[in-house]
Amino acid sequence: MTAPVQTLRLADAREAADLAAFLGRLIHYDRAAAVRIQAGGGAIAVFGRPPSFEVLAIRTARVAGPEETVRLDVTVSAGELLESVAGAELAVPAAVTGPPWAGVLPPRGGWRELPGLPGVAGMQGAVAAAVAEFRARDEALPPERRTRAERDRIGREIWSRTVGGTGLPLRAVHAAQSLGFLRPTPEGVTGAALLAAGSWLRLRTPFGSIAVRTAGVGGLTVTPA
């Protein structure tokens, strides 16, 4: 493993465990995944892009001790970062060349809450219904049309639908569930919310956030315009 450039201590070992679980899920989708880390103001934010969902996933954690004043912005291997998590500490690996998405992150401020987001159970139900619809339509395809292109077309149609009365694409909710962000909220903790800032939408939960960027005509993406 590449020698670390910095060691950070998180305020809560449970947050470190949640961060490790997040990294593990990213690697499940892409063994060569990279993440961008930003630290400042007593917190760390880790950004990743799970393939196929076309979203950005964000996991945050509080930083403890003298590391609270650390400012950091670096792109690293998700696998190396996962290997470095030990208890409440993590060693930041050496930087890697970042993928294109790492240069286009959501804004830090200016977010406003939007109405219309269903509750967690409603969002989980929408994902389950979409998965069932995809399987049914896939099984109904005649042999000559059972191609990757046709399955991709069906998937794009289903996952680009919006949730409730919002502009949030269903694939963002699917990503949140797949990454462990869409869970029942503990008592006394603020639940899921939909936020907007400029051309970005963000599904925020107590366990992590999913962000998508509007790109004019034709949908949502996280690649530069």
Closest CA to 19 of 93, 120, 106, 89: 89
Whether the per-residue pLDDT at 2 is higher than 50: the answer is no
pLDDT at 98: 84
* Token couple for 200: 């970005």
Collapse the DSSP code of 45 into the 3-class scheme (helix H, G, I; strand E, B; otherwise coil) and give the result. strand
Tell me the mean pLDDT in the region 1-26. Answer: 84
In the chain, what are the domains?
6-103 (3.10.150.10), 112-221 (no CATH)
The per-residue pLDDT for 5 is: 58
Mean pLDDT over residues 162-176, rounded?
94
Instruction: Give CA–CA dist 146/153, Å, rounded.
Output: 11
Q: What is the pLDDT of residue 223?
A: 30
Cα atoms found within 13 Å of the Cα of residue 41, Cβ hemisphere only? 5
For the cut 80, the answer to whether the pLDDT of residue 23 exceeds it is yes
| pLDDT higher than threshold 70 for residue 78 | yes
Residue with token string 């399955």: 151
Q: What is the mean pLDDT of residues 170-187?
A: 91
**8 A C-beta contact, residue 50 and residue 26:** yes
Distance from C-alpha of 129 to C-alpha of 88, rounded to nearest angstrom:
38
- pLDDT the model gives residue 217: 30
- Name the average pLDDT for the chain: 89
Q: Is the pLDDT of residue 220 over 80?
A: no
Once rounded to an integer, what is the mean pLDDT over residues 88-116?
A: 93
Q: How confident is the model at residue 215 (pLDDT cuts 50, 70, 90)?
A: low
Kindly tell me if the per-residue pLDDT of 225 is higher than 50: no
Lowest mean pLDDT among 2-16, 107-121, 165-179, 192-206: 2-16
